[in-house]
Structure formats: C-alpha cells, structure tokens
Structure 1
Amino acid sequence: MSKRQGFLSLGLLTVFLLVMLYVVSIPTRLSSSAKTASEETIVISLVQGWNNLSLPLNLNLTASDLCALVPEMTDIYTFNSVWTGYYGCKKTAHVDYSLVPYKGYIVYLTAPQSFTLTGTRYPFSVYEWVLGPNYVGFDTSKQRLEAKKICAQKFTSPLEIISISRKPAEAAGNWSYWETYDCSSPTVPSFEIKQADAYFVTVQNPTKPEKTNSSPARLPNRI
C-alpha cells in the first residue's frame, strides 16, 4: 500500500468514526431535549396569614425545603381527618416529611411572598379518600375549572362529592373562616379552582384506594 493510499484510508476511518459518534449521541441529545421540554415553571404567590397550598409539579420537596424556599413561612400543616403533619419552619423539634403532589397543605406567612418552582407536571395522584373532608389540589393547566364543575362529575365508583370549601385570600387572617360550595344547591355562587391552591372536598361512599386524575376531565374514580 502506498503512503497516499494509507493517508486516504486513515482519513476515511476518521470520518467513519466521527459519523458513528454523532449517531450514537442522537438518543442522548433527544432524551435531554425531551426532558427539558416536559418541565415547566410556575410562580406561586402567597399572602400574609394562612394560605392553602398544593404542589402540581413533581419536585421531591420536603417541608424543610419549602421553608428554605419561602423565608417568610413559619408553619406548615396537612390534613388527615384532623390537622396533622405540623412542621415549624423556625423550630428544630419537628420531624421533616416529603410533600406529596396535589395533597393540600395550609401554611402561615408573616409577610406576602412569591416564589418560583420548576419541575415536571404530575399527571395524577392516588388519594386514600375518607368519609368527610379531604384536603386536595387540582390541575388547572388545561382549562378553567370551577367548584360546580367538580360537583357535576359522574363516577363509576360509589364516591360522591358533597361540597368543596376554600379559604379566600381576604380571610387569610382567620383560621376558622372557609367559603363552601354545596353541590346540592346549584343556586349557590360557585368559585374558581386555582392552580397550586388546596380545597376541602367532602365526600361520601368513598372506596379505597381511589385514583384521582387531577385534571377536570376525570376526578376521583375507582382504579
């Protein structure tokens, strides 16, 4: 083989290897792009006093993470038949715990504050529905949703929604005040269901476990 032929073969081999490296890298680059494309950013604004909060993104946050993210936050509670899961942001004696997407939390702020979250949209959540009030959030990213629309849902299971309650921003200083939409009284004024907010949804005939699609298309339904 001549020296010229040797250089030509080496050049062709180099080009071939470069092409193969590019082809092999395509799935990785596509996967990275898809992951970035599926993420979204939301801004949550909280007022001074008590706020209802639910997280529509899959963030793997703990109560202490949320406290660090929102310096004005002092208290976090969740609800499991009774108020529980207390975490004091300014205290060290409480056990930290993970925050579950679309589960409701009530948090107290000493001053208004907005914060930004970036993550992937959590498509649904599985709730252990109990008879009476359940504290949950809903996905409102696809369309506008009102309390009366939730009440109007039909289910394949015996589960039935009785009422939906919220704490309006103007009642942030009053722990005991909640505004309720009674599903059996269609003349009662409805209210908008908002992203990252949490609501007391009172049910009867719960079947456990219930899969809840957090979008308005399919609400609590049997697995």
Structure 2
Amino acid sequence: MLRTTSMRTLQCAVKHKLMDVNSNIQLFYPMHSVNPSSIEKGWFCPYFYASNRTPKIARQLDFGIAQCFGPFLRGDHQLAEKLLSESNTILSLCDPDPTHDTHTRRLLITFLGITPYRAGMWSTSRPPGASLIHYHLFNGCPALVIPVDENCPITAWSPVTMTTIIQCGFDPAPLHGIICEYLDSVIRMEGVLPKLRERYDEVLSRCVSLVVNGALELRNAEVPKEVMKKLDPERAGLVFFRY
C-alpha cells in the first residue's frame, strides 16, 4: 500500500489568447442535486477560469464526472505531460511516454490539488495571456494512463473532493464504480497493451482501486503539517487530462 509522505508543488503557466469564452462542459451521469448550494462539484473550475474559459454548471445537477470538450489549449497537453513526468508512481495500460508515437491519444488520471498563484485569490491566477496555478501532487497517489479515443474530452474531473474523501465513514465504492464506468466509455481497446487486453476489465478496476486508495490514505498521510497547510482540501480531487 502506497502512503503519502511528501507533497510536490509545481507552479505552471498555461498560455492562451482567449478573451472570456465559455467552456464546453458536459456531464457524465447527471442527476438531480440533493444539495444545490454545494460548491464542491465545481472545485476544479478555477483551472478554466484562470485561462478565460468560463465553466457553467447548473446547481440543480450533480454528476459523476464533468468533462470539458473545449476550447482546447496546447498548454492542456503540456500540463498533462508535466504532471505525468512529476508523478512518483505510474500505472499504465499502454505506453505512457508522450515522446513515443503510439498513434492514439492517452488519458492521465491523477489526484491533484490546486491553489491560486498569490494571496489565496484566484484573480491572481489569470494575468493577461496565461493562467498561473500551483499544482500539488502526492507521492502516495499513483497516476494512471490509458489509451483513449479522439472524442475523449480534453480535461475532466470528479466532483468528490479531498474534504469528503478523508472523512471517516466515506464509502469509496461509488467513486470507484463511476470512474471505472467512465474510463470504460472512453478507452481505446486497440491501444491497450496486447498482454492486458483479455483481462483489461480486471486490470483497469485494480488500477482505479490503487488510485482511489492513494487518495484515501491521505487520512493517514505522514506529510508535515506545515506542508499540508499549503493545500486547500476543498480544491483537491481526481482529474483527467488528455495528451
């Protein structure tokens, strides 16, 4: 079992030339919200806000996964590759190396925290022409890479945040189930390693379990408190980046 003992913080810039456009957000497994006033489901929205891609999500709806289908920025791919290179442990159903041409897109799934560039204010993360955000990775949370179809979204996220995950009594089974169901809907079987194709369901389920368990272990994280203070648990959760 992996256990988090350190947190790595990356300050990354995503350059753009956008002027207040709307993000194309589509919901996977939408349902009527039991708590319309909750802001948890929008925890990753600052990523789009910082690059002038305004996300709009109806408060009346909850969902399993939120997907962004555009506008696309080259920086989205570059950020995915950077997060991959900085991940301590990588689980993969295909060749994850972005320098290798596998003739298929790949999707990175990882547990990630985000914080503003300065002063705890998201307005500081959107200077002209770029988004500036601090990204936090945990050495006990493995990343997962799978091959995906061209119609896979650029970016996606789970609405379940670290605040919920570390609560006593949290049941990870629904989260595991929805992630497996979602990944099964976007995976490209031709890109899966031949030795894994016959039992890919089993392998995918096990890999997702390791990713979710890595997040669960944050309850027992041995990260120094002064390090964890840099993280906002309401702005941390599972994200998906296509590259």
TM class by shorter chain equals under 0.3
TM-score of the superposed pair, with normalisation by structure 2: 0.25
More helix by share: 2
TM-score of the superposed pair, with normalisation by structure 1: 0.26
Q: Which has the larger radius of gyration?
A: 1
